[in-house]
Amino acid sequence: MPYKYDEIVPWGRSMEEYMWMFNLTPENLKLKIIGCGDGPASFNSEMTKQGYHVISIDPLYQYTTQQIQERINETYDNVIGQTYQNQEKFIWERIPSVKALGDLRMASMKKFLIDFEKGKKEERYVEATLPILSFKDKEFDLALSSHFLFLYTDILTFEFHLDAILEMCRIAKEVRIFPLLNVNSIFSPYVERIITELNSLGKKAIIEIVSYEFQKGGNQMLRIQ
């Protein structure tokens, strides 16, 4: 899948949000986890500081800290502006305002940027792109995908989604994907087709309610075992 610098819109989420989005328990945190498409999230940084094991993959990691910072600066105002224009699509409870959202995202991305060079040297941040990864079969206990699959239904094909999810299933014992809505807060038409395909292949794919809802109706994740 082509990946161009001028198309990147960095937007990072925190470890706390990952806990909510993926129904992660304290026991889950002890597992060997891979985040597929983590971008500038602070999940890896925060988990590492607490002694847990996370590998994050993203084509974003081909760039330097300075380049990522510059891209954040270039796109931030536009993202916040669009959020102001579409406030009715979100639930302003845990995150009370657009300003609070911006502050939260910037705080997460700052933690990522501080950790990025060290994390690359430690091979915690790996430049890689779904649907083809170089990891061994069942190398991980848990694979997470936040705000990538299903979110871009209008851009990424059903075949891409299926190939990407099957690859995640190959490298991990369990897969969790959040959210199941597209960028317009509409339930992705791919979800039910994906579940049917996975179940036909002998995998257990179910939709679970999570304790996080920022997009209206976006409180579901797909769990595959």
Give CA separation, 21 vs 24, 162, 188, 202, in Å. Answer: 8, 21, 17, 25
- Whether the CB-CB separation of 40 and 12 falls below 8 Å is answered with yes
- Tens of pLDDT, residue by residue over 163-210, are 999 999 999 999 999 999 998 899 999 999 999 999 999 999 999 999
Res. 1 pLDDT band, cuts 50 70 90? low
% of the chain at pLDDT higher than 90: 93
pLDDT on residue 20: 97
Domains of the chain: 5-224 (3.40.50.150)
DSSP 94-144: SS-SHHHHHHHHHHHHHHHHHHHHHHHHTTSEE--BTTB--PPTT-EEEEE
What is the pLDDT of the chain when averaged over all its residues?
95
pLDDT on residue 139: 98
- Secondary structure class of 32 (helix, strand, coil): coil
pLDDT on residue 7: 65
Res. 61 pLDDT band, cuts 50 70 90? very high
The yes-or-no verdict on residue 4 having pLDDT over 70 is no
pLDDT on residue 198: 97
- Tens of pLDDT, residue by residue over 90-116, are 999 999 999 999 999 999 999 999 999
Gap between the Cα atoms of 201 and 169, Å rounded: 11
The yes-or-no verdict on residue 31 having pLDDT over 90 is yes
Average pLDDT over residues 216-223: 97
pLDDT on residue 9: 83
Give CA separation, 224 vs 16, 19, 129, in Å. Answer: 22, 17, 20
Res. 161 pLDDT band, cuts 50 70 90? very high
pLDDT on residue 10: 86
The yes-or-no verdict on residue 8 having pLDDT over 90 is no
Gap between the Cα atoms of 80 and 23, Å rounded: 27
The yes-or-no verdict on residue 2 having pLDDT over 60 is no
pLDDT on residue 147: 95
- Whether the CB-CB separation of 44 and 144 falls below 8 Å is answered with no
Gap between the Cα atoms of 200 and 186, Å rounded: 26
Res. 5 pLDDT band, cuts 50 70 90? low
